[in-house]
């Protein structure tokens, strides 16, 4: 090949390279048509905003609620009353280990509505200040509460509580019923909370939960979520309607019993 030929090849090669470079630069300079990422929606912060953001999930198919054990006999009801009184007294001893238990103050069963005024009178007569409790539901009647400061006050409050209890006639949930409650919480209750961003610790095994209930209780709760610290009736209604607890669900669906 002669020298002029080599020059022609060199010029052609440079023109090709230049053309490629121009093409590359042109493509790089073309404005992008990709959409800019949108800003994430604001996180609900007020109770009203949180209530409006609450969602529910589909209810899975659950087996019918198992049959309960027969109603308690008179002797069994009495045994439950005594056991409850023993448990209440253990609460007194947890604060005052040397407290002396009074004689059994039981004076007969009353309904919850009947016992409230007598309980109030008894507590006030012992010199204990009543703390009026108010439900988030504005239509609910006030509850009766108190705080004690001395051993004598705590013993007196115990006696007042045990004087007119409500009669326990229904047995505690049996193992089959506890198993259904566990299944409900694992299949719906916990996932419903998680769908609303509420952290739920992992459950124990089904057999472990049933065998140790109520000693080892795994029960999903929203109380540790900071969004629910300023609870309002609207917010409580929203979360409890979207994710009803087992008792609420059973009361609303008697057909599965």
- The band of 256, judged by pLDDT with boundaries at 50, 70 and 90, is confident
- The band of 36, judged by pLDDT with boundaries at 50, 70 and 90, is low
Retrieve residue 98's tokens: 């040397």
| CA atoms of 75 and 68, how far apart (whole Å) | 19
| pLDDT for residue 42 | 62
Retrieve residue 14's tokens: 């440079």
How much of the chain exceeds pLDDT 70, in percent? 78
Higher local confidence (pLDDT), 220 or 14: 220
| CA atoms of 44 and 103, how far apart (whole Å) | 55
Beta carbons within 10 angstroms of residue 133's beta carbon: 12
Is pLDDT of 26 > 60? no
| Residues 153/76, Cβ–Cβ less than 8 Å | no
List pLDDT tens digits, range 100-119: 999 999 999 999 999 999 99
Contacts with 200 (C-beta within 8 Å, 6 or more apart), sequence order:
190, 193, 194, 220
List pLDDT tens digits, range 136-167: 556 666 678 899 999 999 999 999 999 999 99
Higher local confidence (pLDDT), 14 or 226: 226
Retrieve residue 192's tokens: 């419903």
Q: From residue 37, give the alpha-carbon distance in Å to each of 31, 40, 41, 157.
A: 16, 9, 12, 63
- The band of 25, judged by pLDDT with boundaries at 50, 70 and 90, is very low
| pLDDT for residue 131 | 81
146 in helix, strand or coil? Answer: strand
Is pLDDT of 16 > 50? no
Report which of 88, 162, 161 is spatially closest to residue 128, judged by C-alpha positions: 161
Higher local confidence (pLDDT), 45 or 153: 153
Beta bridge partners of 151: none
- The band of 38, judged by pLDDT with boundaries at 50, 70 and 90, is low
- Compute the mean pLDDT over every residue in the chain, rounded to the nearest whole number: 84
* Helix H or strand E encompassing 84: helix 74-95
Cα angle value 198/142/228 (rounded, 5°): 15
| pLDDT for residue 60 | 94
| pLDDT for residue 12 | 37
H helix runs in 96-245, sequence order: 112-125, 151-163, 175-184, 190-195, 206-212, 233-242
- The band of 39, judged by pLDDT with boundaries at 50, 70 and 90, is low
At residue 190, what are phi and psi to the nearest 5 degrees? -65, -45
| pLDDT for residue 2 | 40
List pLDDT tens digits, range 193-203: 999 999 999 99
Query: What DSSP character marks residue 246?
Result: H
């Amino acid at each position: 090949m002669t020298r002029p030929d080599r020059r022609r090849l060199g010029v052609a090669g440079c023109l090709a390279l230049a053309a490629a470079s121009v093409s590359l630069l042109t493509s790089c300079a073309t404005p992008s048509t990709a959409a800019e990422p949108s800003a994430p929606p604001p996180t609900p912060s007020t109770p009203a905003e949180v209530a409006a953001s609450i969602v529910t999930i589909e209810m899975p198919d659950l087996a019918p609620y198992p049959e309960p054990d027969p109603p308690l006999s008179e002797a069994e009801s009495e045994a439950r009353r005594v056991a409850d009184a023993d448990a209440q007294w253990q609460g007194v001893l947890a604060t005052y280990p040397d407290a002396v238990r009074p004689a059994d103050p039981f004076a007969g069963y009353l309904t919850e509505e009947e016992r409230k005024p007598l309980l109030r009178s008894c507590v006030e007569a012992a010199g204990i200040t009543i703390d009026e409790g108010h439900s988030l539901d504005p239509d609910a009647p006030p509850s009766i509460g108190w705080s004690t400061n001395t051993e004598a006050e705590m013993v007196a409050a115990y006696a007042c509580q045990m004087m007119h209890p409500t009669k326990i006639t229904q047995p505690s949930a049996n193992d089959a019923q506890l198993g259904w409650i566990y299944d409900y919480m694992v299949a719906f209750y916990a996932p419903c909370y998680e769908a609303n961003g509420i952290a739920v610790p992992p459950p124990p095994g089904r057999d472990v939960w049933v065998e140790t209930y109520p000693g080892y209780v795994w029960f999903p709760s929203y109380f540790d979520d900071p969004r629910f610290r300023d609870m309002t009736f609207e917010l409580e209604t929203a979360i409890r309607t979207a994710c009803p607890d087992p008792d609420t669900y059973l009361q609303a669906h008697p057909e599965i019993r």
